[in-house]
Protein backbone atom coordinates (compact mmCIF):
# COMPACT_ATOMS: atom_id res chain seq x y z
CA UNK A 1 0.00 0.00 0.00
CA UNK A 2 2.84 2.40 0.79
CA UNK A 3 5.31 1.36 -1.91
CA UNK A 4 4.96 4.31 -4.26
CA UNK A 5 4.81 6.62 -1.25
CA UNK A 6 8.13 5.27 0.06
CA UNK A 7 9.68 5.59 -3.38
CA UNK A 8 8.38 9.14 -3.68
CA UNK A 9 9.81 10.42 -0.44
CA UNK A 10 13.10 8.58 -0.95
CA UNK A 11 13.41 10.49 -4.23
CA UNK A 12 13.83 13.64 -2.09
CA UNK A 13 16.43 12.13 0.24
CA UNK A 14 17.41 8.89 1.91
CA UNK A 15 15.38 8.05 5.00
CA UNK A 16 16.32 5.32 7.47
CA UNK A 17 13.77 2.52 7.85
CA UNK A 18 13.01 3.89 11.31
CA UNK A 19 12.28 7.40 10.05
CA UNK A 20 10.21 5.96 7.24
CA UNK A 21 8.11 3.89 9.66
CA UNK A 22 7.55 6.97 11.79
CA UNK A 23 6.52 8.95 8.70
CA UNK A 24 4.02 6.29 7.64
CA UNK A 25 2.62 5.98 11.17
CA UNK A 26 1.60 9.65 10.94
CA UNK A 27 -0.45 9.28 7.75
CA UNK A 28 -4.25 9.24 7.61
CA UNK A 29 -5.90 7.66 4.58
CA UNK A 30 -8.64 9.82 3.03
CA UNK A 31 -10.73 8.48 0.14
CA UNK A 32 -12.52 11.01 -2.06
CA UNK A 33 -15.31 10.37 -4.53
CA UNK A 34 -15.23 11.90 -8.00
CA UNK A 35 -16.19 15.61 -7.75
CA UNK A 36 -15.81 15.61 -3.96
CA UNK A 37 -14.06 18.67 -2.53
CA UNK A 38 -11.08 18.06 -0.28
CA UNK A 39 -10.59 21.76 0.54
CA UNK A 40 -12.92 24.73 0.02
CA UNK A 41 -11.70 28.29 -0.63
CA UNK A 42 -12.15 30.23 2.63
CA UNK A 43 -11.40 27.24 4.89
CA UNK A 44 -8.02 26.71 6.49
CA UNK A 45 -5.93 23.94 4.92
CA UNK A 46 -4.96 21.69 7.85
CA UNK A 47 -3.01 19.01 5.96
CA UNK A 48 -0.50 18.26 3.28
CA UNK A 49 -1.56 15.34 1.12
CA UNK A 50 0.15 12.72 -0.97
CA UNK A 51 -2.03 11.58 -3.91
CA UNK A 52 -1.76 7.80 -3.82
CA UNK A 53 -4.40 7.25 -6.50
CA UNK A 54 -6.61 9.46 -8.60
CA UNK A 55 -6.49 13.05 -9.79
CA UNK A 56 -7.29 16.46 -8.28
CA UNK A 57 -7.84 19.91 -9.71
CA UNK A 58 -6.74 23.03 -7.87
CA UNK A 59 -8.73 26.15 -8.70
CA UNK A 60 -9.46 29.74 -7.81
CA UNK A 61 -13.21 30.40 -7.68
CA UNK A 62 -13.64 33.83 -9.30
CA UNK A 63 -17.19 35.24 -9.43
CA UNK A 64 -19.24 32.67 -11.39
CA UNK A 65 -16.16 31.05 -12.93
CA UNK A 66 -13.42 28.67 -11.84
CA UNK A 67 -9.88 29.38 -12.81
CA UNK A 68 -7.85 26.14 -12.67
CA UNK A 69 -4.26 26.73 -11.60
CA UNK A 70 -2.98 23.16 -11.48
CA UNK A 71 -3.68 19.42 -11.57
CA UNK A 72 -2.36 16.80 -9.15
CA UNK A 73 -2.30 13.18 -10.40
CA UNK A 74 -1.09 10.15 -8.41
CA UNK A 75 2.35 10.31 -6.89
CA UNK A 76 2.33 14.09 -6.31
CA UNK A 77 1.99 16.19 -3.14
CA UNK A 78 -0.77 18.75 -2.80
CA UNK A 79 -1.71 21.42 -0.25
CA UNK A 80 -2.66 25.09 -0.13
CA UNK A 81 0.69 25.49 1.55
CA UNK A 82 0.45 29.20 2.45
CA UNK A 83 -2.86 28.48 4.19
CA UNK A 84 -1.34 25.41 5.86
CA UNK A 85 1.74 27.28 7.13
CA UNK A 86 -0.07 30.32 8.51
CA UNK A 87 -3.53 28.92 9.27
CA UNK A 88 -5.09 31.53 7.00
CA UNK A 89 -8.11 31.04 4.71
CA UNK A 90 -7.35 29.10 1.55
CA UNK A 91 -7.54 31.02 -1.74
CA UNK A 92 -8.32 27.85 -3.68
CA UNK A 93 -10.64 24.88 -3.79
CA UNK A 94 -9.15 21.40 -4.28
CA UNK A 95 -11.49 18.81 -5.77
CA UNK A 96 -11.31 15.22 -7.01
CA UNK A 97 -11.64 14.77 -10.80
CA UNK A 98 -11.74 10.97 -10.33
CA UNK A 99 -12.17 8.71 -7.32
CA UNK A 100 -9.05 9.50 -5.36
CA UNK A 101 -7.08 8.24 -2.36
CA UNK A 102 -5.03 10.71 -0.32
CA UNK A 103 -2.51 10.10 2.45
CA UNK A 104 -2.80 13.07 4.80
CA UNK A 105 -0.29 14.59 7.20
CA UNK A 106 -1.77 17.03 9.72
CA UNK A 107 -0.01 20.22 10.78
CA UNK A 108 0.69 18.63 14.18
CA UNK A 109 2.19 15.52 12.54
CA UNK A 110 4.43 17.70 10.39
CA UNK A 111 5.70 19.67 13.43
CA UNK A 112 6.30 16.37 15.26
CA UNK A 113 8.37 15.15 12.31
CA UNK A 114 10.46 18.34 12.35
CA UNK A 115 11.14 17.78 16.06
CA UNK A 116 12.70 14.40 15.18
CA UNK A 117 15.61 16.27 13.64
CA UNK A 118 17.62 17.21 10.61
CA UNK A 119 16.38 14.63 8.10
CA UNK A 120 12.76 15.80 8.38
CA UNK A 121 13.80 19.44 8.47
CA UNK A 122 15.70 18.78 5.27
CA UNK A 123 12.69 17.07 3.71
CA UNK A 124 10.53 20.08 4.63
CA UNK A 125 13.14 22.42 3.21
CA UNK A 126 13.32 20.52 -0.07
CA UNK A 127 9.54 20.49 -0.39
CA UNK A 128 9.35 24.25 0.24
CA UNK A 129 12.18 24.90 -2.24
CA UNK A 130 10.39 22.82 -4.88
CA UNK A 131 7.12 24.66 -4.27
CA UNK A 132 8.91 27.99 -4.48
CA UNK A 133 10.61 27.15 -7.78
CA UNK A 134 7.28 25.93 -9.20
CA UNK A 135 5.47 29.11 -8.08
CA UNK A 136 8.10 31.29 -9.74
CA UNK A 137 8.11 29.16 -12.89
CA UNK A 138 4.33 29.41 -13.07
CA UNK A 139 4.66 33.17 -12.91
CA UNK A 140 7.15 33.29 -15.77
CA UNK A 141 5.41 30.63 -17.83
CA UNK A 142 2.06 32.37 -17.71
CA UNK A 143 3.71 35.63 -18.64
CA UNK A 144 5.94 34.40 -21.40
CA UNK A 145 4.57 31.27 -23.13
CA UNK A 146 1.86 30.84 -25.71
CA UNK A 147 -1.26 28.81 -24.92
CA UNK A 148 -0.23 26.25 -27.52
CA UNK A 149 3.18 25.75 -25.91
CA UNK A 150 1.62 25.43 -22.45
CA UNK A 151 -0.81 22.79 -23.75
CA UNK A 152 2.01 20.79 -25.31
CA UNK A 153 4.05 21.00 -22.12
CA UNK A 154 1.12 19.79 -20.02
CA UNK A 155 0.69 16.80 -22.30
CA UNK A 156 4.42 16.06 -22.30
CA UNK A 157 4.81 16.38 -18.52
CA UNK A 158 1.89 14.10 -17.65
CA UNK A 159 1.37 11.50 -20.39
CA UNK A 160 -2.24 10.37 -20.44
CA UNK A 161 -3.47 13.22 -18.28
CA UNK A 162 -5.21 15.07 -21.11
CA UNK A 163 -7.38 11.97 -21.72
CA UNK A 164 -8.47 11.88 -18.08
CA UNK A 165 -9.55 15.53 -17.99
CA UNK A 166 -12.72 17.08 -19.43
CA UNK A 167 -11.88 19.57 -22.19
CA UNK A 168 -13.30 22.45 -20.12
CA UNK A 169 -10.83 21.80 -17.29
CA UNK A 170 -7.83 21.96 -19.59
CA UNK A 171 -9.24 25.10 -21.23
CA UNK A 172 -9.69 26.72 -17.80
CA UNK A 173 -6.09 25.83 -16.92
CA UNK A 174 -4.92 27.49 -20.14
CA UNK A 175 -7.19 30.50 -19.60
CA UNK A 176 -9.12 30.04 -22.85
CA UNK A 177 -12.58 28.90 -23.98
CA UNK A 178 -13.14 25.18 -24.70
CA UNK A 179 -13.82 26.01 -28.38
CA UNK A 180 -10.37 27.58 -28.75
CA UNK A 181 -8.76 24.49 -27.22
CA UNK A 182 -10.60 22.27 -29.72
CA UNK A 183 -9.14 24.35 -32.53
CA UNK A 184 -5.63 24.14 -31.05
CA UNK A 185 -5.93 20.36 -30.69
CA UNK A 186 -7.09 19.99 -34.30
CA UNK A 187 -4.22 22.14 -35.51
CA UNK A 188 -1.67 20.10 -33.56
CA UNK A 189 -3.11 16.76 -34.77
CA UNK A 190 -3.19 18.00 -38.34
CA UNK A 191 0.53 18.61 -38.41
Q: Which residues of this chain interact with a copy of itself, rule CB under 8 A?
A: 81-82, 85-86, 91, 114, 117-118, 121-122, 124-125, 128-129, 131-133, 135-140
The residue (of 31 and 42) whose beta carbon lies closer to a copy of itself is: 42
Q: Which is nearer to a copy of itself, 129 or 177 (CB)?
A: 129
Nearer to a copy of itself, 29 or 135 (CB): 135
Q: What is the DSSP letter of 91?
A: S
Q: Does residue 108 sit in helix, strand or coil? A: helix
Centre a 10 Å sphere on the Cβ of residue 72 and count the other Cβ atoms it contains.
23
Beta carbon of residue 98, minimum distance to a copy of itself (angstroms, whole number): 26
Q: Which is nearer to a copy of itself, 13 or 167 (CB)?
A: 13
End-to-end CA distance of the chain: 43
State which residue, 134 or 179, has the beta carbon closest to a copy of itself.
134
- Closest to a copy of itself by CB, 34 vs 116, is 116
Answer for the pair 95, 40: CB distance below 8 angstroms, yes or no.
no
Least distance between a copy of itself and beta carbon 61 (Å) = 13
- Identify whether the C-beta of residue 170 lies closer than 8 Å to the C-beta of residue 151: yes
Q: In the complex, what is the shortest distance from the CB of residue 138 to a copy of itself, in angstroms, rounded to a whole number?
A: 7
CA separation (Å) from 172 to 67, 69, 70, 111, 117? 6, 8, 10, 36, 42
DSSP string, 112-181: HHHHT-HHHHHHHHHHHHHHHHHHHHHHHHHHHS-HHHHHHHHHHHSTTHHHHS-HHHHHHHHTS-HHHH
Q: What's the min distance (Å) between Cβ of 126 and a copy of itself?
A: 8
The helix or strand, by DSSP H or E, that contains position 17, with its residue range, turns out to be helix 17-25
Closest distance of CB 114 from a copy of itself, Å: 7
Supply the minimum distance, in Å, between the C-beta of residue 25 and a copy of itself: 20
Amino acid sequence: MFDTFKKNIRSYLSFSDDDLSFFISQLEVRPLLKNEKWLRAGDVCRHVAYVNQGLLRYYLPVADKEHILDFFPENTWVSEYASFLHAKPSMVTIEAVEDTELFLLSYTAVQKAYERGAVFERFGRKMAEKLFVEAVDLNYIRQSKSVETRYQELVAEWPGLADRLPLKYIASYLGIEPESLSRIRKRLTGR
